[in-house]
Structure 1
Amino acid sequence: MSASLTLGKPEHLDKLLALVAAFHAEEGIELTEEARRAGVAPLLEGIPYGAAYLIGPPRAPIGYIVITFGWSVEFGGLDAIIDELYIRPGVRGRGIASEALIALPRALAGGGLRAIHLEVDQTNEAAKKLYRRAGFAPRDNYVFMSRKL
């Protein structure tokens, strides 16, 4: 199975929403369908703040990655946060997520991206191992913090 990445477009909305709903159900993220659609659709329409990539064949994707863009003085310019990464349970454990995480910087290389960040549950050892294999490392003395508005 391939971890090829396809930049999401409006015609992928229904397939992507099904994957996002599955991920949210698995993670206990409660959103209405309307809110989920409002969060995903602009990414497929080309807003400059982020992008969604389908993993696997676009006609039958096996996962997705959503990234959002920001600016970092420390990292010298454009950076990104992996907001969500999901692989269907039936195909996990085959290295697909690792391949996708390694392919992502290549897909973004021409855009001047300086760094990619992500957040991981401190108790999720499998995810931390996956991210380390893909070249991510925790930053000493830093913790990702959030405030809902």
Structure 2
Amino acid sequence: MSAALRLARPEDLDRLMGLVAGFHAEAGIEQDPDQRRAALAPLLEGIPHGCVYLIGPSRAPLGYVIITFGWSVEFGGMDGFVDEIYIRPAVRGRGIATELLQALPKALAAGGLKALHLEVDRANETAQRLYLRAGFKPRDRYMLMSKAL
């Protein structure tokens, strides 16, 4: 992969905070920095519920992907959810996300995952095409529904 992946560690938190703030600004997600830090820190400290991969050079990552873990009877075991994926605007269109979405599922499958899910904005046709090319398929009978607690 031209944009190598590495698991983010606690010392990456400040660098990651900037990337996540960039994604949230683009996506219209409102979250104050303290909430963001509290949500990210446990993932970097090794909780079993998910992980963060930084994309590219350690000192200046090109982006990140956050995977959260769950359990699916339907898929026969542990599954994952691409919670967030972000590539810096200046380096988009270079195939980084395509490479990521080809390599990451293979690595996760080797680690025991049975399925990987994601959600995409219904109006974001560019992202939909990317995910379709990477082998993700819409589930016609299902839609993601959420309730904030």
The 5 Å alignment of 1:1-149 reads 2-149=2-149
- 3-state DSSP of counterpart to 1:98: helix
Compute the displacement of 1:110 (Å). Answer: 3.0
Sequence identity, in percent?
Answer: 67
Separation in 2, partners of 1:24, 1:2: 25
- 3-state DSSP of counterpart to 1:145: coil
Residue deviations 1:14-58, cap 9 Å, x none? Answer: 111110011111111111110000011110000000000001112
RMSD: 1.1
Count of matched residue positions in the alignment of Structure 1 and Structure 2: 149
Residue deviations 1:65-103, cap 9 Å, x none? Answer: 001000000000000000000000000011111111111
Unaligned regions of 5+ residues in structure 2, if any? none
Compute the displacement of 1:3 (Å). Answer: 2.3
Query: Residue type of the partner of 2:90?
Result: G
- 3-state DSSP of counterpart to 1:146: coil
- 3-state DSSP of counterpart to 2:140: coil
Runs of at least 4 residues off by over 2 Å? none
Compute the displacement of 1:11 (Å). Answer: 1.3
Query: Residue type of the partner of 1:101?
Result: L
Compute the displacement of 1:108 (Å). Answer: 1.8
Separation in 2, partners of 1:13, 1:119: 25
- 3-state DSSP of counterpart to 1:59: coil
8 Å CA contact 1:3–1:97 kept in 2: the answer is no
Residue deviations 1:97-121, cap 9 Å, x none? Answer: 1111111123323321000000001
Separation in 2, partners of 1:115, 1:12: 28
8 Å CA contact 1:5–1:103 kept in 2: the answer is no
Unaligned regions of 5+ residues in structure 1, if any? none
